[in-house]
Amino acid sequence: MRLRPLQIAALALLLPLAGCGSNTDDDEGRKETSASPSGRQPALAKEAPRPGDQTVTMTWKGQERVYTVHAPPGYTPSKPLPLVVVMHPYPADGAYAARLTGFDAKADEEGFLVAYPNGVNQGYNALVCCGSEDDVGFIGAMTKRLVDTWKADPRRVYATGISNGADMSFRLAVELPGTLAAIAPVSGGYIGTAAGNPAYVPKTPVSVATFVGGRDTYAEQFEQGIKSWSARLGCKPGRPERVKGANTRTRATCRDTSEFVTYRLPGMGHNWPGSKDPTMGEEATGVTATDLIWDFFDAHPRA
């Protein structure tokens, strides 16, 4: 869904804010999709690691929080698997993120765990919007639980998402030191409260693969975020490579040994490349983000 002019103006007022503590609950901020909640009810059964889908509730700071775990066929806790945390846009939920990205099928094919955390009121407290909850703490606790209970490999924990969820992946990279090996923000950026704070950078190396659509309303902001991240972490980009038509990929090596890869898709808007979803998917890009993201994650375990 495109933003109304008043919404864009409201968003612009948020961008100069600096520091992670100044987030604003902006329900009139970026709204990317009209997808309705999935209607799933939290499971009442005790959490039991096993193949397939399982919806889990946990209490975080006195509030019930919900996430869904997908484990591939043949999964057993005796064999540690990578974990990919996939975060939805605003307003939406984890079930929509699963449909949009197709990460369940990818997990079955490649053998990894996927977790879809639900934001409160369909949004995460990310760098620009959309809420005031301690989502960093919740997702950190969820990740620890998946490592402890589901035996996810702590050296291969990753985060991705679109828009509000993409912004959230940048926030997690900075505020959960030593947790994530890499992130892959799609149609989102290192923006908002991160923009004016040079000290707001990861304390441990976190590699990044990001996807920016040339027709995205926020493309200029995302590009500025890439410049800020690169300047702060001393990332030196190479020459852009062609990837399927006019699309390009630029690789940068950063001072802390992390890598920053940028896919620029000139024909895409605020979408997930390669998805058939009618709301936020963009099948005609010529690339499939889910495949490229997994390949990137698989090549970047935490040192």
pLDDT digits (tens, 9 = 90+) for 251-291: 999 999 999 999 999 999 999 999 999 999 999 999 999 99
Q: In this predicted structure, what is the pLDDT of residue 12? A: 37
Q: In this predicted structure, what is the pLDDT of residue 24? A: 33
In angstroms, the Cα distances linking 210 to 54, 79, 275 are 29, 30, 16
Q: Which domain holds residue 264?
A: 41-298
Output the domain CATH number for residue 204. 3.40.50.1820
Determine, yes or no, domain membership for 61.
yes
Determine, yes or no, domain membership for 166.
yes
Scan for tokens 């399982």, then name that residue.
54
What SS3 class is residue 84?
Answer: strand
Determine, yes or no, domain membership for 149.
yes
Q: What is the largest CA-CA distance in the chain?
A: 53
The one-letter code for the residue type at 123 is G
Q: In this predicted structure, what is the pLDDT of residue 13? A: 34
Strand partners, 97: none
Determine, yes or no, domain membership for 110.
yes
Scan for tokens 């995460």, then name that residue.
124
Residue 32: is its pLDDT beyond 50?
no
- pTM value is 0.87
What SS3 class is residue 134?
Answer: coil
Residue 212: is its pLDDT beyond 60?
yes
Scan for tokens 């998946």, then name that residue.
146
Determine, yes or no, domain membership for 15.
no
pLDDT digits (tens, 9 = 90+) for 128-142: 999 999 999 999 999
Check residues 46 and 296 and name the one with the higher pLDDT. 296
Q: Contact, 208 vs 252, CB < 8 A?
A: no
Q: In this predicted structure, what is the pLDDT of residue 47? A: 83
pLDDT digits (tens, 9 = 90+) for 227-242: 999 999 999 999 999 9
Contacts of 19 (CB under 8 A, 6+ apart): 193, 197, 200
Give the whole-angstrom CA distance, residue 158 versus residue 298. Answer: 10
Q: Two tokens at 159? A: 């985060």
Determine, yes or no, domain membership for 245.
yes
Q: Contact, 265 vs 212, CB < 8 A?
A: yes
Determine, yes or no, domain membership for 250.
yes
Q: Is the peptide bond before 91 cis (omega within 30 degrees of 0)?
A: yes
Q: Contact, 25 vs 132, CB < 8 A?
A: yes
Contacts of 184 (CB under 8 A, 6+ apart): 158, 159, 160, 169, 208, 209, 210, 211, 289, 293, 296, 297
Q: Two tokens at 213? A: 């659509």
pLDDT digits (tens, 9 = 90+) for 163-188: 999 999 999 999 999 999 999 999 99
Determine, yes or no, domain membership for 199.
yes
Angle of helix 94-101 relative to helix 103-110, nearest 10 degrees, comes to 70
Nearest to 286 by CA among 264, 270, 302, 303: 264
Q: Positive or negative CA dihedral for 168, 169, 175, 179?
A: positive
Q: How many domains does the chain have?
A: 1
State the Cα angle at 33 between 31 and 38, rounded to 5°. Answer: 120
